[in-house]
A and B are shown apart, each in its own frame.
Chain A
Amino acid sequence: MGSTTRKTQVAGQKPVSAIKPNTTAGAVIPLKKYLEKYALAPSTSPPVSADKLIPPSGTTLPPNVKSTHVPISLWPLTNNGLSSFYAGVFDDEMHFSASVLKVAALFAAGQFHAEATAFAQGYTDWNKFVTDFNADLKTRINPTTVDSHILSAGFFLLPQTQTILKQSAFPTIAFADNAGGFQERAGRMIVESDDPSAAICIRALGYGYINMALRQANFYSSFTSPGIWLAGTYDKADKLKKVRIPCVNDHPDAQVTTSRLMCLMTAMIRLGQLPQNDAGANALMQGWLHEPKSGPDATGPWLGAGRDNTIAPKFTIVHDKIGFAGLGDDEVPNVYSEALIIKWTTAAQLAAFNKTIDPTDTHPEIHLSEEIAVCWQNYLWPLMPSPRNFDGIIDVINNSISDFLQQTPT
């Protein structure tokens, strides 16, 4: 045999050669097509959804308004994961989203719980565990894992393990559940969107740990790339202890995200994928995000009842975190945002769509479940003509998802 002849790699190719051909199951008109139609299309008569999303022409925009883009991300879910039918508009733009970023703090708390649980294996002594775990965290939070702006600012870099975790539960890892403790504060941060509670949780977790956790989970890569950024406590007393990142809709801010990544984070929490390998922490997180929230100070969704919305949503709300705050130093006007999981209520549309993508009903893993992860941002509600409500967002979601499921000709 000639020495120049390469040996064929038959054994190595077997898995690839056995893959079946593509089917026409994925040949659907993309959700993005419909989302763009309803969220971006120019005005027609009668007015389309897009007209309800941005201030009418002629509106004098306050000096703080830097963008009228309303980023929207929609991610239909399957029973076990993310579907391949994601769609977004302006979805890679970094926007200030105020309290929606409390979801990122919640994520970091879950990651901390999971990491502590893994680290605690083999430990029987609390003090020894705390010493070693803190030493490990201190080593890991470094310039290769944490953004340099956060490190150089030097605020709240390291987690306060003894504040976050419950000593008496050890060697089981649990959040401190004393009155006013971390667990209660984390719950109030989400259920009530309570700023003082958020501040306690974020200080305890630390900007350094939060950023490292976001980076490790691919929600953040660099200061100049789209990502999720949380380096502020929501406490005005910490106003000078924020680390700010540039964004599209405001001056540099400490609570910034893209709709795509916040939509993904919300979806992964709902799917039980965040944190990894810690179902207990995930259950707590889902419990706090769940709708309807309970308690006298619980928040309600912007897209839900009681917000003067006049368009009936074609969905119910399963998880929700709202956000609103003022732009600029004088905090005018307010911008609104939301990350949520919705549940589509027209089962017949879902069944028809699943039949389209799986005509032989042999791939249940690709079937859409009823749930869709949603994130929208930078809605300048105060600049809308009356009645001021969230009809524009509801309209876009109603029409985009409905047309997509029905594959309405575009």
Chain B
Amino acid sequence: MPVRKTESRIPIGFVAGDLGEAAAAPDGRCALVSFITSPLVVNRENVYVVFVTDAGLAAVAQSFEWSFSENGGTAVTQSTPVGQVVYSPQETGSLVTTVRILDAASTEQANLSLTQAMVPPNAELEALIVAATDQPGPGASNPVVSRELVNDHNPYYQAVTPPTPETGDAFQQFVFTVAVDGVSQTTPDSRKKLAEDLAQSFEDAGADNFVNLTSQGVGVCALRLALLAMMPPAGAPLIPWTELPQPASQNAFADEKLRQQLAALDEPTRIDYFNLARFPKSNITQCGRILAALRDHYFGGANFSDVLTGMSGTRANWIVMHYRKGPLLTS
């Protein structure tokens, strides 16, 4: 089954470009999505996913042949049994990524290409990191985390907008902070493994694994799928607003019950939530939406500048705690 369930559908109400930089086939049968939007940074790993949304094409697809050509040079090719691959650009310039969808006889059934720029690491950040080594204070924080966020996800967290327009960039700062937390707590490899395990869980019978795996946050912002179901991007909540107790032992039990409700949702909906959390672009966007919803619920009327700076940032910390563990009972 080369086309996994997770690559068979794009979330309802979204297009491939909402997930990352995308190239869609003119006939709409498939779409290629890059986690990182051009320009890519040299020697930083990127993930490409091909969605095969046409049932006929999905039925004949047996393997995927990827090729990466830098600056018009000889392409590096790689075959994968599923529609996902990782590639790290080797030099600055231009990268053409092509995926060919092959049938059992290795005959091409469709192909997609994406051209992206390749650039050096962000010079401003590198200067900040160098300067921070000689200065007291937080500076560039964790350089590994900062490099991932600035080089890979910068356009995403800087593009988030609060549902109610406000002056300043407090909302972007807040989302950035949550992304820093998410990236700090996990390595790219562990995030990738969780995503793979979740994708595989849809292929396996039984929901137990899905319940266990969703105890962890998914993707860059460690997005909890149960919270996403409680505050879906569109339509009525599929899990009712449920506040969880704060004590750790009670919280864990209540959270598991929540995840069981999530696992009981229909599979296409769960796949859509997984994909929204899997791709950094949609992950960060949904994180921002949830933070805004939590702000509205618990601190309605406060703008994000107040949330961050007022009351010594207490409200911001509460919202982050609701995001990670809740929503929590606060009485």
Contact = CB atoms under 8 A, between A and B. Distances in A.
B94 A27 contact: yes
A13 B176 contact: yes
A13 B176 CA distance: 8
B178 interface: yes
21 contacts: A5-B317, A5-B324, A5-B325, A8-B181, A8-B316, A10-B173, A10-B177, A13-B141, A14-B173, A17-B157, A17-B172, A17-B173, A17-B177, A20-B154, A20-B158, A21-B154, A22-B39, A26-B119, A28-B92, A410-B71, A410-B73
From B73, B122, B128, B139, residue with most partner A Cβ within 10 Å: B122
Main secondary structure of the interface of B (DSSP, over half): helix
B188 interface: no
Interface of B: 38-39, 41, 71-73, 91-94, 117-120, 122-125, 128, 137-141, 146, 149-151, 154-155, 157-158, 169, 172-174, 176-178, 180-181, 246, 248, 308, 313-314, 316-318, 320-321, 324-325
Contacts of A33: 71, 91, 93
By Cβ-Cβ distance, the 9 closest A-B pairs, closest first, are: A12-B138, A27-B117, A26-B119, A17-B176, A21-B154, A24-B117, A29-B93, A21-B155, A8-B177
Nearest to A14: B173
Contacts of B177: 8-10, 13, 17
A27 B92 contact: yes
Main secondary structure of the interface of A (DSSP, over half): loop
Interface residues of A, number: 35
Contacts, number: 123
A239 to B, nearest CB: 43
A284 to B, nearest CB: 30
Nearest to A21: B154
Contacts of A17: 157, 169, 172-173, 176-177
Contacts of B320: 5, 8
A168 interface: no
A387 interface: no
B321 A5 contact: yes
Nearest to A12: B138
A86 B124 CA distance: 18
A46 interface: no
Interface of A: 1-2, 4-30, 32-33, 84, 366, 409-410
A2 B39 contact: no
Contacts of A8: 177-178, 181, 313, 316-317, 320
Nearest to B328: A2
B11 to A, nearest CB: 24
Given A26-B92, A27-B119, A16 B72 contact: no
A11 to B, nearest CB: 7
Contacts of B178: 8
Contacts of A25: 119
Contacts of A26: 39, 92, 119-120
